[in-house]
Amino acid sequence: MEATASHLLARDLLIQYAKPGTDEVVTAVDSVDLEISRGDFVCLVGPSGCGKTTVLNAVAGFVPTSGGELTLDGRVIPGPGPDRAMVFQQPNLLPWRSVLANVTYGLEISKAWSKTEARERGMELIELVGLTDAASSFPSQLSGGMQARVNLARALAVDPEILLLDEPFAAIDAQTREVLQAELLRVCAARDVTALFVTHDISEAAFLADRVAVFSPRPGRIVQEITVPWERPRAQGIRRTREFADLHDEIADVLYAAKEGARS
Ligand SMILES: Nc1ncnc2c1ncn2[C@@H]1O[C@H](COP(=O)(O)OP(=O)(O)O)[C@@H](O)[C@H]1O
Ligand SMILES: [Mg+2]
């Protein structure tokens, strides 16, 4: 596989749902084109209901496509697999399991790891997300930010190539969120993963992404991709620069123009 070849490719992607109890369909996304290389970090922003979660679910293999192409390394996505991991907004940690046991849960189910291997791997990931001191704590003893870290470590446990993150920090307070964003960039670099990250937060997209894909309202399609010029990982300080403010405004303008365009 050439390093330049696209890893994840959507061409003219159409995804429709059956309307419950009727013969009608809801077109969630239509004509989505997206090309992602290995190691890219791409953020999806767009109005509520435009199909961002649908796109993640299709890449995860949870939702079938209705038209167009969606391929991973040139192959049609056959269904869910350990090469792709989802991170949801709600961590949904198992309350009776420790942090370590939550992180290793997927490994125990897959049976490909011995107990010792699973434990070592779990501790390595817990260290990576900065939770070593909390490894034997229980979810109820953790702050929201710590739970988000466990959520991330758990997704990484199976060593996915692609992380699919659906507004994972949306419920976290603003200051903790900024810390988590920087941590996520560090973790992605350390594990060499490709990331597809959905967010409502324009600053979050500008801080995290190599590219920000802006969706139109439903049926969603990508109206514009905005390239973010900075190397990753990034220092918190870039948020306070003029260039960052300009980039934020550029994304916001495209987003609002897409919304207005849909209305007129
Ligand atoms: N399982 C489903 N069955 C029927 N319609 C759905 C389903 N999931 C999502 N939709 C519809 O598809 C559209 C896109 O939803 P979604 O992908 O969740 O948008 P977003 O994440 O951008 O808010 C919405 O109109 C939503 O109501
Ligand atoms: Mg969503």
Q: pLDDT tens across 38-56, in order?
A: 999 999 999 999 999 999 9
What is the three-state SS of the chain? CCCCCEEEEEEEEEEEEECCCCCCEEEEEEEEEEEEECCCEEEEECCCCCCHHHHHHHHHCCCCCCEEEEEECCEECCCCCCCEEEECCCCCCCCCCCHHHHHHHHHHHHCCCCHHHHHHHHHHHHHHCCCHHHCCCCHHHCCHHHHHHHHHHHHHCCCCCEEEEECCCCCCCHHHHHHHHHHHHHHHHHHCCEEEEECCCHHHHHHHCCEEEEECCCCECEEEEEECCCCCCCCHHHHHCHHHHHHHHHHHHHHHHHHHHHHC
Residue with tokens 């004509």: 31
Asked, for residue 163, whether it belongs to a domain, the answer is: no
- Find, among 131, 104, 117, 247, the residue nearest to 187 by Cα: 131
Any domain includes 93: no
CA–centroid distance, 197 to ligand 1, in Å, is 17
CA of 121 to the centre of ligand 2 (A): 31
User: Which tens digits make up the pLDDT trace of 232-260?
Assistant: 989 999 999 999 999 999 999 999 999 88
Confidence class of residue 264 from pLDDT cuts 50, 70 and 90?
A: low
Buried residues in 141-150 as b, exposed as e (16+ CB within 10 A): ebeebbbbbb
Q: What is the CATH number of the domain that holds 209?
A: 3.40.50.300
- Asked whether residue 241 is domain-assigned, the answer is yes
Q: Which atom of ligand 1 is nearest to the CA of 50?
A: 22
Closest by CA position to 58, among listed 50, 66, 48, 47: 66
Residue that has been written with the tokens 């779990």 in this structure: 122
Q: By C-alpha distance, which of 201, 199, 197, 263 is closest to 232?
A: 197
* Domain annotation covers residue 155: no
pLDDT of residue 3: 46
Asked if residue 42 is part of any domain, the answer here is yes
Dihedral of alpha carbons 220, 222, 228, 231, sign: positive
What span, in angstroms and rounded, lies between the C-alpha atoms of 3 and 79?
A: 24
Q: Which ligand is nearest to the CA of 57?
A: 1
Q: Which ligand number lies closest to the CA of residue 50?
A: 1
Tally the domains of the chain: 1
pTM for the model stands at 0.95
Atom of ligand 1 nearest to the CA of 56: 17
Percent of the chain, pLDDT > 70? 97
Per-residue exposure over 151-177, b if at least 16 CB sit within 10 Å of its own CB, e if not? bbbbbbbbebbbbbbbbbbeebeeeeb
Convert the pLDDT of each residue in 208-234 to its tens digit: 999 999 999 999 999 999 999 999 989
In this structure, is residue 146 part of a structural domain? no
- The 10s digit of each residue's pLDDT in 54-95 is 999 999 999 999 999 999 999 999 999 999 999 999 999 999
Residue 133 lies in a domain: no
Residue 15: domain span: 1-82+202-264
Give the number of the ligand closest to the Cα of residue 44: 1
pLDDT tens digits, 134-189: 999 999 999 999 999 999 999 999 899 999 999 999 999 999 999 999 999 999 99
User: Which atom of ligand 1 is least distant from the CA of 54?
Assistant: 17
Burial class (CB within 10 angstroms; exposed 0-12, middle 13-18, buried 19+) of 31: middle
Q: Which residues line ligand 1 (CB under 6 A)?
A: 17, 26, 28, 46, 48-54, 218
Q: Is residue 7 part of a domain?
A: yes
